[in-house]
Chains A and B, each alone.
Chain A
Amino acid sequence: MAGYKPVAIQTYPVLGEKITQDTLYWNNYKTPVQIKEFGAVSKVDFSPQPPYNYAVTASSRIHIYGRYSQEPIKTFSRFKDTAYCATFRQDGRLLVAGSEDGGVQLFDITGRAPLRQFEGHTKAVHTVDFTADKYHVVSGADDYTVKLWDIPNSKEILTFREHSDYVRCGCASKLNPDLFVTGSYDHTLKMFDARTNKSVISVEHGQPVESVLLFPSGGLLVSAGGRYVKIWDILKGGQLLVSLKNHHKTVTCLYLSSSGQRLLSGSLDRKVKIYSTTSYKVVHSFDYAASILSLALAHDDETIVVGMTNGILSVKHRKSEAKKDSLPRRRRPAYRTFIKGKNYMRQRDDILINRPSKKHLELYDRDLKNFRVSKALDRVLEPTCTIKTPEITVSIIKELNRRGVLANALAGRDEKEISRVLNFLIRNLSQPRFAPVLINAAEIIIDIYLPVIGQSPVVDKKFLLLQGLVEKEIDYQRELLETLGMMDMLFATMTRKESTSVLQHASDGFLENKKVES
């Protein structure tokens, strides 16, 4: 017939943050490694190729870090002024960076001196990027222009002068070598096509655009400016899909997680928020010590690197899962023994014998099933259980009470065991959700152990502690009731006043109406 029904463990709503798969995923990082840079970290970029080094742009230097190194493995410092936006090429072998003096420099990762220098911008170049064909570089500068450069002969191919303010961010399409997007302080985002030498789409963000991001498919465009993050549908000609306002200061950087399922945004309010790209709801957020300027994720979200205004680079590595496996594990039957014969097709003459699947029972349930009540209680009074999951202990006590065997289970304990029970009572008796069950248990304990009181100083101390606790609780409840009474009185007076004023108001209105009529 019906099998044993396990004890219903009372669940209580967990206060605070809800535990979801996202919080688990994004909390699964080690404590951050902090690296001090010379100035505000304006850009972090990961090499798309293994070993996934990353370039950090801060002040007039570009540092290249290895994944786990705390010291830069390479430094480019041949800048006369502040460097901006060091970006790797798709193959990870070239690096391009802009600078305050208007130059755009191209480096070989292995070399030290720039391979190419593109001169043409008259003011600081804040954004550079490689196009999808790897042979061109797009740059945007404070002189309101966007330029397209040819790498082999280091020449300027095209200049777009459509923006009317500083161009501070840009992004080249990963699929089409001719398309790229720039965002400017004139509040617009423009998509340029190198084949038409003018912008093809222009959308109004509403705030100075700080960061822009194209989805890998190229269908969606994300822009950040002011407190807003906006998603635009390129395929519908730049229609606004959704506008997110989750930060309370300017959003400075955007990044997509490697799966493309989550969007990250960093802001001056020192927070990184993570959005789902299907519902655009915030699923998680990180706090940092200073305003965030740049943000990057490594391949497979292995590392989160955040650059801040105070020159601190925070590097978080994902906890490796291999460690758990290294623990000595009991040898279990191989997986195939469990699935053996599962996909066997029944023949006509076969008689199918169903073996009922074995239900897994907790240890305390196994004890209860066999009516070993004291043992079940002992099991849930283990410190691991009482501290981590007191609700299980309380549920078992409740179940023993329901079965009418709580007194049997509590009786016959020695000093150590009874003090364990008392410890649990002292810790949890005053919690309102456990109180009804535990008070009953405490009464039973007092009844049982009253004759032997005074034999053990340890237990006596615990009993006194429990008594003090109960008295304190009674005082506390009395105070609460007093407060409640006072508040009731206040509310009563308030409501009466309100109702009278409402009545007066109504009658006034009525009179006025009459006057108007007359």
Chain B
Amino acid sequence: MVAEESVRVVRCGGSELNFRRAVFSADSKYIFCVSGDFVKVHSTATEECVHILQGHRNLVTGIQLNPHNHLQLYSCSFDGTIKLWDYVDGILIKTFVVGHKLHALFTVTCAEDSVFVIINKGKQDIFQLVSVKLPKSSSQEIEAKELSCVLDYINQSPKCIAFGNEGEYVAAVRDFYLSVYFFKKKTTSRFTLSSSRNKKHAKNNFTCVACHPKEDCIATGHKDGKIRLWRNFDDDKKYTYTCLHWHHDMVMDLAFSVTGTSLLSGGRESVLVEWRDATEKNKEFLPRLGATIEHISVSPAGDLFCTSHSDNKIIVIHRNLEASAVIQGLVKDSNIFTGLMVDPRTKALVLNGKPGHLQFYSLQHDKQLYNLDIIQQEYINDYGLIQIELTKAAFGCYGNWLATVEQRQEKETELELQMKLWMYNKKTQGFVLNTKVNMPHEDHITALCFCNAEKSETPTLVTASKDGHFKVWILTDDSDIYKKAVAWTCDFVGSYHKYQATNCCFSEDGSLLAVSFEEIVTIWDSETWELKCTFCQRAGKIRHLCFGRLTCSKYLLGATENGILCCWNLLSCALEWSTKLNVRVMEPDPNSENIAAVSQSSVGSDLFVFKPSEPRPLYIQKNISREEVQWGVFVPRDVPESFTSEAYQWLNRSQFYFLTKSQSLLTFSTKSPEEKLTPTSKQLLAEESLPTTPFYFILGKHREKQDEKINKAFESELVQLPLTENIPAISELLHTPAHVLPSASLLCSKFVNSLLLSKETKR
């Protein structure tokens, strides 16, 4: 196999969906969002991913519908190209090479053959809005070098640029001023807020801008939560603005509805606010959206909105402010305390998600399967508030049990700890809270592990804590004559000379428990809870501890803070070997004897794969990431790969995933797993790209009923029925724009008559 040579570190899923505003298709059937190097096409009704548009070689930074053909989509990327896609079939039509790093893309209906992009010229912080002329050519790849600068010294974010009133002007905001460029007059007006000059600490920096689609009105969002509506800005002197204030924190994004009657705004409060008629009184709320609103967009048909959130989610919202669909990617905005775990049932990757939740993320489909609410309390998003944090979690007994630990510490002495044990309910296919333990320990819990041996009858859980104890919890029968129930109780409390317990680990067969107390490792018999022996290397606190597996189950591995990796032989109770390695992550492979260790050096992180029985590593990959690797996990493969080369055999049965400090999820593969992702349904194709309105439903149903009736009455006869489209009166009514139609009273009789079936046609 040729591919074997190219095993490399690749990014795997979980890219940001909320990086840029999502875009709706003209019929609101599809929603497009950027996702790393790709553009994803989702169905708004089913949330399913229909297509992945692949082709860019760097982060996609902007997407826009082609204003002249609503079945086409423009996208731009950091790789300096603008690509035109046919999203219905997922085909790349054209590539325009611009050359500069493109930060955002805008299209305007009136500009025939040009689009607008934000590029970075020269210095770090200086961005320009330029118009790019897209040359007409039949070839696939076209150079588009004809740039003309529109606005200079603007903000990098596309939220700070808005085109207004069919492209007559463009508004840009940066820091304390709003600049408006009029294309016809080719002049720029600048507006500064009066207070920003005097008060240094007035937090009225501009954060975003939106333009009214019909009128000359610009809405700007500010850091202090105010929204200002600017009018008469074509005159430098007579301009006016009104203020709308509800948000108590920064306004993250603004959007006008298609007709311009209402303005949508969102921010940190995770509440979507709809301002009707641009007045402070008329506002509607959609609260509890879960996380900070980053972007808001509106569908061209006007029936849907969508909000992108900081927890990597897009919510599709109906016109009447009802959330209808959620497209959820890997949540990345919180600190990962729990580490990476694999749910034995779904094979999903499990880690901290939304605040107080565990997320179950499918690696195969790059999709969040579900969120498990662990803390079950109202989330108050406020700056400086100490939240309850989900710090530890572990699966046990083939996914039947889940243990979680949450904590909140305001002051040194005030620690709130809670341990929860969740049982998998087969009927509801989810975890149900079984036991809640208040203050299971007097100090932070440092580790918890289940005994996963096959033969063990009673499920057993061990928690180790900084208070110097480790506790053994077992499942007991709590049933009486009224109900059958099981609950967890503490079975044994162990300690070793008042040292802090730092790690715990069960051997593969469950007969031994290893608990590390700072520098000392203690081995306990899990039958009698007797202390069997202790190991001490005097090389710093033990940071990681794990038993060998299968043929290597007689070895115990420990990594210390001083950068020593030790391997003890449990039969001889002696040190087998030790080496100097600054281990950050140590993970055993559940399907083999292999153990992966990621070490940290000043240059980057290195990966070592070895068997405990021999100190020589099987595989070394230097510099897997420039950042610190925080967590790693082996995920068993569904279909084993067949690498023949000895170096890669450790990848045959499981795959190693790891998470870096900047929370990118990486793995080792021959090709990018995102390329392997397959959209679940390709048959979803746009037949009719017109929005389905209630009127359509009524008419369509009416037609259906007619058909049925006729089929029943004249089964044998061939009848030519005039279809509604064929009647000129109806087609005139349906296809003429409303503002040019004569009054309804004139049309009514004609229209109703045309719908009636005349007797001649029946016979």
Contacts and interface: CB of A to CB of B under 8 A. Distances in A.
A3 interface: yes
A368 B410 CA distance: 21
B382 interface: yes
A8 B377 contact: yes
B134 interface: no
A5 B388 CA distance: 15
A281 B479 CA distance: 13
Interface in A3-27: 3-8, 10, 20-21
B760 interface: no
Nearest to B411: A440
Contact of A10 (B385, B410, B438, B481): B438
A76 B159 CA distance: 101
A1 B376 contact: no
Contact of B288 (A1, A279, A281, A436): A1
Contacts of A404: 380, 382, 384-386
B382 A1 contact: no
A330 interface: no
Nearest to B388: A402
Contacts of A20: 480, 482
Given A2-B290, A279-B481, A436-B414, A403 B380 contact: yes
What is the size category of the interface that chain B forms with chain A? 20 to 34
A401 B701 CA distance: 57
A418 interface: no
A278 interface: yes
Q: Which of B288, B378, B386, B438 has the most CB of A within 10 A?
A: B378
B701 A4 contact: no
Interface in A452-469: none
A440 B380 CA distance: 20
B227 interface: no
Contacts of A90: none
Nearest to B694: A351
B385 A403 contact: yes
A1 B482 contact: no
Contacts of B382: 403-404
Contacts of B286: 1
A2 B288 contact: yes
A314 interface: no
A7 B290 contact: no
Contacts of B531: none
A10 B410 CA distance: 19
B481 A276 contact: yes
A140 B288 CA distance: 78
A283 interface: yes
Contacts of A440: 414
B93 interface: no
B481 A4 contact: no
B530 to A, nearest CB: 15
B385 A1 contact: no
B481 A1 contact: no
Interface in A167-183: none
Interface string A261-303: 0000000000000001011010100000000000000000000
Contacts of B408: 402
Q: In the complex, which of the residues B290, B323, B416, B482 has the most CB atoms of chain A within 10 Å of its own CB atom? A: B482
Interface string B374-403: 001110101011101000000000000000
Nearest to A278: B481
Nearest to A365: B378
B420 to A, nearest CB: 11
B142 interface: no
B564 interface: no
A368 B380 CA distance: 11
A321 interface: no
A21 B377 CA distance: 31
Contacts of A91: none
A399 B380 CA distance: 11
Contact of A4 (B288, B290, B315): B288
B482 A21 contact: yes
Interface string B356-384: 00000000000000000000111010101
Nearest to B481: A279
Nearest to B385: A404
A441 to B, nearest CB: 12
Interface in B405-422: 408, 410, 414, 416
Contacts of B97: none
B289 interface: yes
A325 interface: no
Contacts of A4: 288, 378
A368 B388 CA distance: 18
B359 to A, nearest CB: 15
Interface string B51-89: 000000000000000000000000000000000000000
Nearest to A398: B416
B487 to A, nearest CB: 12
Interface in B236-295: 286-290
A71 interface: no
Contacts of B388: 402
Interface in A420-451: 436, 440
A349 B376 contact: no
B135 to A, nearest CB: 46
Nearest to A5: B378
Nearest to B697: A351
Contacts of B290: 1-2
Nearest to B371: A2
Nearest to B270: A1
Q: Which residue of A21, A278, A279, A404 has the most chain B CB atoms within 10 A of its CB atom?
A: A404
Contacts of B323: 1
Contacts of B380: 402-404
Given A1-B315, A2-B288, A283 B378 contact: no
Given A20-B482, A21-B482, A5 B384 contact: no
Contacts of B289: 1
B482 A8 contact: no
A402 B315 CA distance: 28
Given A3-B288, A402-B408, A283 B481 contact: yes
Nearest to B413: A436
Contacts of B315: 1
B697 to A, nearest CB: 9
A436 B480 CA distance: 34
Nearest to A401: B410
Contacts of B410: 401
Nearest to A276: B481
Nearest to A281: B481
Contacts of B701: 349
A3 B410 CA distance: 27
Contacts of A8: 376-377
A264 B597 CA distance: 67
A91 B386 CA distance: 75
A1 B416 CA distance: 28
A328 B388 CA distance: 45
B264 to A, nearest CB: 16
A368 B379 CA distance: 12
A465 to B, nearest CB: 24
A3 B373 CA distance: 13
Given A349-B701, A440-B414, A5 B481 contact: no
Nearest to A280: B481
Contacts of A278: 481
B241 to A, nearest CB: 30
A5 B438 contact: no
B295 to A, nearest CB: 17
B96 to A, nearest CB: 40
A167 B323 CA distance: 80
Contacts of B482: 20-21
6 tightest A-B CB contacts, nearest first: A279-B481, A5-B378, A1-B288, A403-B380, A404-B385, A276-B481
7 contacts: A1-B286, A1-B287, A2-B288, A8-B377, A10-B438, A399-B377, A402-B385
Given A1-B289, A2-B290, A7-B377, 5 more contacts: A1-B323, A6-B378, A349-B701, A402-B385, A402-B408
